[in-house]
Each structure stands twice: as C-alpha cells, then as structure tokens.
Amino acid sequence: SQFAMAQNLSFVLEEPNKVSFEDRPVPELRNEHDVLIEVKFTGICGSDVHYWSHGRIGDFIVKAPMVLGHESAGIVHSVGSAVRSLSPGDRVALEPGIPCRRCERCKDGYYNLCPDMRFAATPPCDGTLARFYVLPEDFCVPLAPHVSLQEGALAEPTAVAVHVCRQADVRPGSSVLIFGAGPVGLLCCAVARAFGASKIVSVDINEERLLFAREFAATHIFRSRGSPQESAATLVAECELGPGADVCIDASGAAPCIQAGIHALRTGGTYCQAGMGAPNIDFPIMAMCTKELTVKGSFRYGSGDYKLAVELINSGRVQVKPLITRTVPFSDAEEAFKDVKAGKGIKVIIEGP
C-alpha cells in the first residue's frame, strides 16, 4: 500500500474540503542547528479544521496544497552538526513556529509577533501531519520519561494557555473567569490553577463540557443565560465574586461571552481575548473605560511559554491525559477532522504515520 512504501507520508489540504495522502520528500537539514523529527502523534486544532472547511483564517489564505497539523510530539531522528542538547532517540514536544530572530519584535522577546514567522499549517507553510518534520533544536522541548508522546502532543495547546494566563496576569489568589470550555479554555483553567488562582470559573452553554471542567480544573462552573449584563450579575453573585472577578479570559470568541466577561470584571481588572470569533463585534467600551480595565490580545506563545507548558506537564501540575478523547490511525485522519468539526469529544489525536 502507499502507506507502507511511503518515505514521508503526509496529510495534505489541497483546497477547501479536499484532503489527500501524499508521499513527499523527506525534508533535509538546511542548518547545522536543525533536527529531523519523526512525528508520532498530532492533535487536531480548531484552526486546522477551519482551514480544511473554509480555506482561510482572516488574511491567511490557502493558495497551494498544504500539509495540516501543528500540535505534535515525536522522536528525534537525526541532528545537525551544531546540535548539543538533543540526540537521536530523544522524545520531544514540537514548538511549530520559527521566527526570523532578527526583527525588532524578536529582539524584544516577543517572537510570536514576528512578521516573518513561519508557522506550521499556516499558509504557505506545511504542517506536522507527516512522517518527518524539521525544527531548530531550541524549538524541540524534551519530555520526561513518564510522559507519553500523546500527552506531548498537548504541549501546544497548553503553551497557548500558558501565554494567555501570563497575558491575563493570573497570579496567586486571583479570581479568574474563563469563557469557553473547549481545549484551550479547559487548559486555561488548569494553568490558572497551577499559577495559584484561588477561584476559577468555567463558563459555557454546554452542560457536558461544564461537568468535565469541574472534574478537570475549575473550582466553579456557570451556564450562561439571559442578556450579557444579566448573565454577568448572576455569575458574580452565584460564584461570590464580590466586586467582580480579577481576571477574565475569553476562549469562546462568542460576542455574548465577551460582553458578559467585561461586565463581570471588577474595577481595575484584566481581560484577555484568546478565542477567535467574528472579526468585529459589539463591545462594551464604556464599561471598559469607566472600570479602567486592562484589555489584551493573545497570539500563540512567546519566550519561555512552551518550556513552562512542558514543565507543567512533566511535573504533573497540569494533567493533559483526561482531554484526549481518542487516538486514531493516520489512515482515518479525514474522519477525525469530521468528528472535530461536529464537536465530538475534546481532543482527537492522530497517530503516525
């Protein structure tokens, strides 16, 4: 079969709603600091599904066939001549974006904002759903021996949650509202707990997800209802937040959640946008102004975020295993994408190839 004979079997998005398996050349190490990784497990993210069904996210448009996937872990296959920290056989989580390292943003330490970032499965860059993938050694983070490669694939969304919680200034004793109980929202709950937050409220409309959130990492759960202002008032009262929450994170992208979050914050609180929704929404800017809120965006992960994410997984302070709904073979990749699009389960992992 093509699977058995392939050198570098890859799962390719040809155009919206059309995917195929393709044998591509094994990538070469072009730099002495690069390593070749044999990818073992890859999680499916909402952005992958969005490219598959729409062919674009904002200004990022799929114009040529592109390998999907960016949440991966694997085993180092070979290393460049200058690589010192890794050897063939090492098990690593893959940080899937390579910045230019030269621009002002990179030098500032905000390399996630690099205008020349080459990020896996963001057009025109190929992703990690292939047998082999190349990264610089400092973008490969070693996994502890007791951490499975499946768990390692969840380092990517965990790093997103670490970045969000840092942006949101979550600290010991904080009360934190997290709207949306998808993978990133749930991981924000877990990271907030690891950061010492005392109250962590998971907010969603899906009862099943909320019950999971309470088992997983939230101290309180709340089902949104009524207008955003009513919902915020009920939430603050039921969760005994007094003057309001210290921090609100939106991991839903839904306008009513964003509005309720602003209303549920205390004066001087911090709001961070993590979820992607409509490009423009109706936003309670007067409340933001009179409460003197700090409002921040959050994009991927920056300096130290991936290492901390892996450290939290390695140490067991963030348990990612419960998020894995199931693992499917590479040959079932398209079916897995359909399930994720239909909202089945929390994290579906693709094995191989």
Please check the confidence at residue 33 and state whether its pLDDT lies above 80: yes
User: Helix, strand or coil for residue 19?
Assistant: strand
| pLDDT in the model for residue 284 | 98
In whole numbers, what is the pLDDT of the chain averaged over residues?
A: 97
Q: Mean pLDDT throughout 176-194?
A: 98
Looking at the chain, the whole-number percentage of residues with pLDDT higher than 90 is 96
Of the listed ranges 31-35, 53-57, 126-130, 187-191, the one predicted with least confidence: 53-57
- The answer to whether 313 and 190 have CB atoms below 8 angstroms apart is no
Q: Which of 227-241, 285-299, 333-347 has the lowest mean pLDDT?
A: 333-347
User: What integer pLDDT is reported at residue 338 of this predicted model?
Assistant: 94
**Residue 58: pLDDT above 90?**
no
pLDDT number for residue 2: 64
The rounded distance, in Å, linking the Cα atoms of 227 and 221 is 18
Which has more pLDDT, 4 or 124?
A: 124
Residue 4 pLDDT level (bands cut at 50, 70, 90): confident
* Structure confidence at residue 49 as a pLDDT band (50, 70, 90): very high
**Residue 20 confidence class, pLDDT cut points 50, 70, 90:** very high
**Closest alpha carbon to 48 in 345, 353, 339:** 339
Q: Tell me the per-residue pLDDT of 247-269, one tens digit each, with 9 for 90 and over.
A: 999 999 999 999 999 999 999 99
CA 208 vs CA 43, 216, 236: distances in Å = 21, 12, 22
CB-based contacts of 259, cutoff 8 Å, min separation 6 = 228, 229, 282, 283, 284
CA distance 314 to 308: 10
Segment holding 58, helix H or strand E = none
pTM of full prediction above 0.75: yes
The arithmetic mean of pLDDT across residues 103-126, rounded, is: 97
Contact 36, 134 (CB under 8 A): yes
**In whole angstroms, what is the distance from residue 155 CA to residue 55 CA?**
26
Of the pLDDT bands very low, low, confident and very high (cuts 50, 70, 90), residue 1 is low
Measured between alpha carbons, how far is 37 from 86 in angstroms, rounded to an integer? 11
pLDDT number for residue 5: 85
Hey, what domains does the chain have and what are their CATH numbers? Answer: 9-142+320-351 (3.90.180.10), 167-297 (3.40.50.720)
In the chain, the percentage of residues whose pLDDT exceeds 70 is 99
